[in-house]
Amino acid sequence: MFTCKKSKTLQFITNTSHSIHSQITSHPRISLFIFSLFLVQIIILCSPSPPPPPVSLPPPVDDKCKEGQVYVYELPTMFNSDLVGTCEDLDPWHWQCGVATNGGYGMTATELAGIIPESLVQVWHRTNQFSSEIIFHNRILKHKCRTMEPEAATAFYIPFYAGLAVGKYLFTDSTNEERDFHAVQLIKWVQNQSYWRRSNGSDHVLVLGRITWDFRRLTDPEKRWGSTFLNMPEMQTVTRLTIERAPGDYQDVGIPYPTGFHPRSITDIQAWQSFVRTYNRTSLFTFVGAAREDVGDDIRGLLLQTCRNESVSGTCRVVDCAVTPCANGSSAIMESLLGSEFCLQPRGDSFTRRSVFDCMIAGAVPVLFWTRTMYDQYEWYLPEEPESYSVFIDHDDVSAGKKSIKGVLEKYSKEAVKEMRERVIEIIPKIVYSDEGSNNSGMKDAFEVAVDGVMRRFKTERDQRRQESDVNVPGN
Ligand SMILES: *[C@@H]1O[C@H](CO)[C@@H](O)[C@H](O)[C@H]1NC(C)=O
Ligand SMILES: *[C@@H]1O[C@H](CO)[C@@H](O)[C@H](O)[C@H]1NC(C)=O
Ligand SMILES: *[C@@H]1O[C@H](CO)[C@@H](O)[C@H](O)[C@H]1NC(C)=O
Ligand SMILES: *[C@@H]1O[C@H](CO)[C@@H](O)[C@H](O)[C@H]1NC(C)=O
Ligand SMILES: *[C@@H]1O[C@H](CO)[C@@H](O)[C@H](O)[C@H]1NC(C)=O
Ligand SMILES: *[C@@H]1O[C@H](CO)[C@@H](O)[C@H](O)[C@H]1NC(C)=O
């Protein structure tokens, strides 16, 4: 049994979704002090906003930003910077400490010195996995296609930190009103903007730092979890970039979890690629995670035990997160991922895991047990043939004892493994968030891929709307 607090912390951090609601029953209450802050925020919110700008069609696209330009709303600070707050008020275990430092990248991970090349220690950070709303905000403000003129914009970026807004209520007995407070106010604010009214939000985009399920609260009071932001009718037209999307919801777009690697240049990327390509991997596979006794059919527990058994011969490297604090990264995790050809990536309460990205950046091949962990999630980022860069073993076959992990992985020849690892290494530049000032000479990082994708999507939709309205004009 792993009953220590750290394992619980990790469980809550790495997980969520429909099934978590029933497990959340008793947690420390957040102080009344925080609630009183909202009263202050209501007052801020109710102050008058400037008159809406005039409406006009976007001008012809210019050469540099072919797909269009992005306008970033200046929101009242209650929707973003006020939410970053202090280390203490964000959640019961303070794991978000430092979430906003270095533009969302966090402190330098000096603990990796001696494991990774010295020249790259500066580009590895203790990045919080839920910091993408801060990272994107910071980067979009400096984007070359940002415009200060809303009438020139193809896309409207809403820098609302929705994940941080709900994050502090997830583990408390907070009311529905508390959980939805910021979301409700945000909708009111944005509905008051003329460019929102022009499109009903369909050319608007925001980033959710947490998984989509944290914003889709169910009506069953027994399964109360998160806010109801994405259930709100006004949100149905808005594109959301999120680390775990709801399959089948066109407005949800999957973006990579932020990892600790933030290269400054193509030189950093190439140095890292060459480092992980040539690393002497002495184990076949690794498992980084904790058992989950509270979940029936606990595949994590099974994989942990399998790995522990195989660690005797050196075939598997185990990092038990009930013992090692995994939440903020550690040198033990890095060494295990670098030292193994494959990494096991079971689902938790939700399907996705930051660890999938940690694994690939370390140049190891992810082994998946649910397709929704990756294949249905990150289509802007991953090659079409999943078998080229990953291994899939159905979780039912593992649970039923029909397939042995070692048996499946040992069947791959040295050459086949090398080839898969090479595909993984090719993907790295696209799934990292590079340092803001970097010049990757045409290598698009995860942020740039997302911005391009959103611009393309909005431009296509706008062109379609124009065609439709042409068709609808009588006599045309
Ligand atoms: C909406 O705009 C009007 C006029 O600018 C302003 O009086 C009102 O307070 C605004 N409402 C909100 C919720 O921002
Ligand atoms: C926005 O939504 C309202 C209410 O559904 C509708 O009346 C209006 O035509 C919509 N406007 C646009 C531009 O789609
Ligand atoms: C890789 O590590 C193994 C085990 O420690 C060792 O025997 C082998 O010589 C190493 N290979 C290289 C190329 O360093
Ligand atoms: C691990 O080894 C023990 C002892 O040999 C065995 O009883 C157990 O079934 C093994 N567990 C797994 C998951 O392989
Ligand atoms: C990671 O988190 C633990 C517990 O929250 C903390 O004690 C430790 O100092 C952190 N380590 C790093 C490298 O930030
Ligand atoms: C980025 O680097 C490339 C090649 O090294 C260079 O041609 C280009 O001008 C640089 N761009 C910027 C913005 O510095």
Q: What is the mean pLDDT of residues 107-131?
A: 91
State which ligand 4 atom lies nearest to the alpha carbon of 308. Answer: 1
pLDDT at 50 over 70: no
Ligand 5 contact, 95 CB (< 6 A) = yes
What is the Cα–Cα distance from 348 to 19, expressed in whole angstroms? 10
What is the Cα–Cα distance from 415 to 23, expressed in whole angstroms? 44
**How does residue 443 score in pLDDT terms, banded at 50, 70 and 90?**
confident
Establish if 325 belongs to a structural domain: yes
Q: Ligand 5: which of 12, 328, 331, 333 to mutate, judged by most atoms within 8 Å of the beta carbon?
A: 328
Alpha-carbon dihedral 94, 96, 97, 99, rounded to 10 degrees: -170
Distance from the CA of 266 to the center of ligand 6, in angstroms?
10
| Tokens 């707050």 belong to residue | 85
pLDDT of residue 296: 55
Same domain, yes or no: 292 and 309: yes
Pairwise pLDDT comparison (195 vs 218), residue with the higher score: 195
Ligand 3 contact, 280 CB (< 6 A) = yes
Establish if 60 belongs to a structural domain: no
Establish if 65 belongs to a structural domain: no
What is the Cα–Cα distance from 410 to 401, expressed in whole angstroms? 17
Ligand 6 contact, 441 CB (< 6 A) = yes
Distance from the CA of 468 to the center of ligand 5, in angstroms?
55
Residue nearest to atom 6 of ligand 1 (CA): 48
Q: What is the mean pLDDT of residues 399-403?
A: 92
What is the Cα–Cα distance from 146 to 65, expressed in whole angstroms? 9
Ligand 3 contact, 282 CB (< 6 A) = yes
Task: For residue 381, give the CATH number of its domain.
Answer: 3.40.50
What is the Cα–Cα distance from 243 to 160, expressed in whole angstroms? 16
pLDDT of residue 20: 35
Distance from the CA of 181 to the center of ligand 2, in angstroms?
25
Decide if 75 contacts 204 (C-beta within 8 A): no
State which ligand 1 atom lies nearest to the alpha carbon of 51. Answer: 5
Same domain, yes or no: 194 and 280: no
Pairwise pLDDT comparison (130 vs 250), residue with the higher score: 250
Angle between helices 354-361 and 414-431 (to 10 degrees): 110
pLDDT of residue 59: 43
Same domain, yes or no: 89 and 221: yes
Distance from the CA of 85 to the center of ligand 6, in angstroms?
37
The domain containing residue 159 runs over which residues?
Answer: 70-258+445-459
Mean pLDDT, the chain, as a whole number?
Answer: 83
Same domain, yes or no: 237 and 184: yes
Same domain, yes or no: 285 and 242: no
Distance from the CA of 333 to the center of ligand 5, in angstroms?
13
Query: Which residues face 208 on adjacent strands?
Result: 242
Decide if 367 contacts 391 (C-beta within 8 A): yes
Same domain, yes or no: 240 and 309: no
DSSP 223-255: G--S--GGGSGGGGG-EEEESS--TT-TTEEE-
Same domain, yes or no: 95 and 243: yes
Ligand 4 contact, 399 CB (< 6 A) = no
Per-residue pLDDT of 134-159, as tens digits, reads 999 999 999 999 999 999 999 999 99
Ligand 4 contact, 313 CB (< 6 A) = no
Establish if 277 belongs to a structural domain: yes
Residue nearest to atom 11 of ligand 3 (CA): 280
Distance from the CA of 52 to the center of ligand 5, in angstroms?
46
Ligand 1 site residues, Cβ closer than 6 angstroms: 48-49, 51, 188-189, 192
Backbone angles phi, psi at 156, to 5 degrees: -120, 120
Distance from the CA of 319 to the center of ligand 1, in angstroms?
53
pLDDT of residue 474: 61
Establish if 121 belongs to a structural domain: yes
Task: Pick the most confident of 52-66, 358-372, 431-445.
Answer: 358-372
Residue nearest to atom 1 of ligand 1 (CA): 192
What is the Cα–Cα distance from 320 to 410, expressed in whole angstroms? 23
pLDDT at 36 over 60: no
**How does residue 322 score in pLDDT terms, banded at 50, 70 and 90?**
confident
pLDDT of residue 98: 64
Establish if 2 belongs to a structural domain: no
Q: What is the mean pLDDT of residues 269-278?
A: 97
Ligand 5 contact, 111 CB (< 6 A) = yes
Q: What is the mean pLDDT of residues 6-18?
A: 32
Q: How many domains is the chain built from?
A: 2
Decide if 248 contacts 262 (C-beta within 8 A): no
User: What single-letter DSSP state applies at residue 117?
Assistant: -
Share of the chain above pLDDT 90, in %: 61
Same domain, yes or no: 102 and 201: yes
Same domain, yes or no: 182 and 295: no
Pairwise pLDDT comparison (359 vs 440), residue with the higher score: 359
Q: How many Cα neighbours within 13 Å face the side chain of 64? A: 7
Same domain, yes or no: 204 and 287: no
Same domain, yes or no: 422 and 354: yes
Backbone angles phi, psi at 145, to 5 degrees: -100, 20
Distance from the CA of 309 to the center of ligand 4, in angstroms?
6
**How does residue 370 score in pLDDT terms, banded at 50, 70 and 90?**
very high
User: Which residues, in sequence order, are CB contacts of 175 under 8 Å at separation 6+?
Assistant: none
Structure-token pair, residue 107: 């402190």
Q: What is the mean pLDDT of residues 285-289?
A: 95
Decide if 11 contacts 290 (C-beta within 8 A): yes
Per-residue pLDDT of 57-75, as tens digits, reads 444 444 578 889 999 999 9
**How does residue 466 score in pLDDT terms, banded at 50, 70 and 90?**
confident
pLDDT of residue 66: 84
Establish if 38 belongs to a structural domain: no
Ligand 5 contact, 325 CB (< 6 A) = yes
3-state secondary structure of 65: coil
pLDDT of residue 152: 94
pLDDT at 21 over 60: no
pLDDT of residue 92: 44
Distance from the CA of 24 to the center of ligand 1, in angstroms?
38
Share of the chain above pLDDT 70, in %: 80
Ligand 6 contact, 64 CB (< 6 A) = no
Same domain, yes or no: 190 and 296: no
pLDDT at 161 over 90: yes
What is the Cα–Cα distance from 383 to 425, expressed in whole angstroms? 12
Establish if 34 belongs to a structural domain: no
What is the bridge-based pairing of β-strands 204-208 and 239-242? parallel
Q: What is the mean pLDDT of residues 162-174?
A: 84
**How does residue 441 score in pLDDT terms, banded at 50, 70 and 90?**
low
State which ligand 3 atom lies nearest to the alpha carbon of 280. Answer: 1
Alpha helices (H) along 122-173: 132-141, 162-167
